[in-house]
């Protein structure tokens, strides 16, 4: 299958739904304000909010390094399908870990939970995850089934994965997409805990993104989450018309909920910060980059 080019959309300021955006909105409206509307804060300097927003974490950076290592390996497979040298690849991953850890500020250090975070702190866990990938049935499937179609692979397409769902702007950016015969396969790598409810929403979104851009029935698309930690596992959503209709309605309903916190929908201008209430859930506060601003001492 030769895929057409991904469609481009003219820029608009209207907010776009995504699984991650709505999750932040649902969990804490104040965190949502700082994450998406920091320039409208009349009290705290933008530079301060942006600094806190840019903080990474051990778990997040572990995922970033694994994710980007797999991306680069797949790009390499588009050029040559020669067997992977484990020692060379692990050295490549270690170098990436050094670069990432040296260039970022960690939340755990900023909030004095740890004195420092170095690549050596992350590499043992990263290597375990990478080994799960290298010995997986999915990598074997990629070599045996996907490599012959490598010229048609889509690996982290540019942009933000913009699409339209029920005529609402939405973002559903895929990691890795390949056509095989008359089917499209989408894979999403995960290093965190299994969450089928959340991840099924992402997979349906990916399928609708591909359906929209490539003019194919969403039920011709197989979307799979590949869990790489603590043990290898996969989760695939088998789409039905009922699931698609329900998801499309959810996107519309959730978008409208976020619209309620705007004073100007067309230009995506929020109401005042005080309208974005703080959560009373201590779990979210403990791991929030912006907890310093709320002065919650959990």
Residue 296 pLDDT greater than 80, yes or no: no
- C-alpha 219/C-alpha 232 separation (Å) is 26
Residues 264-287 pLDDT 10s = 999 999 999 999 999 999 899 999
- C-alpha 28/C-alpha 282 separation (Å) is 11
Confidence label for 1 from pLDDT (cuts 50, 70 and 90): low
Residue 295 pLDDT greater than 80, yes or no: no
Identify the three-state secondary structure at position 178: strand
Q: For position 72, what pLDDT does the model report? A: 97
Q: For position 181, what pLDDT does the model report? A: 83
Q: For position 298, what pLDDT does the model report? A: 45
Tell whether the torsion through CA atoms of 284, 259, 197 and 195 is positive or negative.
Answer: negative
Name the token pair of 275: 């309208």
Residue 40 pLDDT greater than 50, yes or no: yes
SS3 content of the chain, % helix, strand, coil (to 5): 55, 15, 35
- C-alpha 78/C-alpha 154 separation (Å) is 10
List domains and CATH numbers for the chain.
1-43+149-279 (3.90.320)
- C-alpha 108/C-alpha 291 separation (Å) is 12
Residues 46-81 pLDDT 10s = 999 999 999 999 999 999 999 999 999 999 999 998
**Backbone Cα Rg of the chain:** 20
91-99 mean pLDDT: 98
Q: For position 3, what pLDDT does the model report? A: 76
184-197 mean pLDDT: 94
- C-alpha 196/C-alpha 108 separation (Å) is 28
Mean pLDDT of the chain: 94
| 236-243 long-range contacts, CB within 8 A, separation 24+ | 236/203, 237/200, 237/203, 237/204, 237/207, 239/204, 239/207, 243/204
């Amino acid at each position: 299958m030769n895929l057409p080019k991904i469609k481009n959309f003219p820029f608009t300021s209207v907010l776009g739904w995504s699984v991650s955006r709505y999750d932040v909105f649902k969990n804490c409206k104040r965190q949502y304000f700082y994450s998406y509307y920091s320039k409208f804060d009349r009290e705290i300097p933008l530079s301060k909010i942006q600094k806190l927003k840019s903080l990474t974490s051990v778990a997040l950076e572990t995922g970033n390094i694994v994710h980007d290592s797999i991306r680069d390996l797949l790009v390499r497979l588009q050029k040559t399908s020669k067997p992977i040298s484990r020692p060379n690849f692990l050295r490549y991953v270690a170098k990436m870990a050094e670069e990432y850890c040296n260039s970022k500020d960690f939340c755990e250090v900023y909030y004095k939970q740890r004195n420092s975070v170095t690549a050596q702190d992350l590499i043992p866990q990263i290597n375990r995850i990478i080994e799960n990938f290298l010995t997986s049935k999915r990598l074997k499937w990629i070599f045996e089934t996907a490599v012959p179609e490598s010229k048609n692979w889509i690996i982290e397409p540019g942009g933000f994965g913009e699409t339209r769902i029920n005529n609402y702007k939405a973002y559903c950016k895929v990691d890795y997409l390949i056509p095989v015969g008359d089917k499209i396969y989408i894979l999403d790598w995960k290093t965190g805990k299994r969450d089928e409810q959340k991840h099924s929403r992402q997979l349906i979104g990916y399928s609708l993104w591909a359906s929209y851009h490539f003019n194919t029935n969403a039920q011709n698309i197989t979307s799979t989450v590949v869990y790489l930690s603590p043990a290898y596992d996969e989760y695939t959503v088998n789409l039905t018309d009922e699931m698609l209709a329900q998801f499309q309605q959810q996107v519309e309903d959730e978008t409208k909920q976020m619209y309620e916190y705007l004073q100007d929908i067309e230009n995506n201008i929020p109401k005042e910060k005080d309208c974005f209430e703080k959560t009373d859930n201590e779990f979210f506060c403990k791991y929030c980059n912006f907890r310093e601003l709320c002065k919650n001492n959990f």
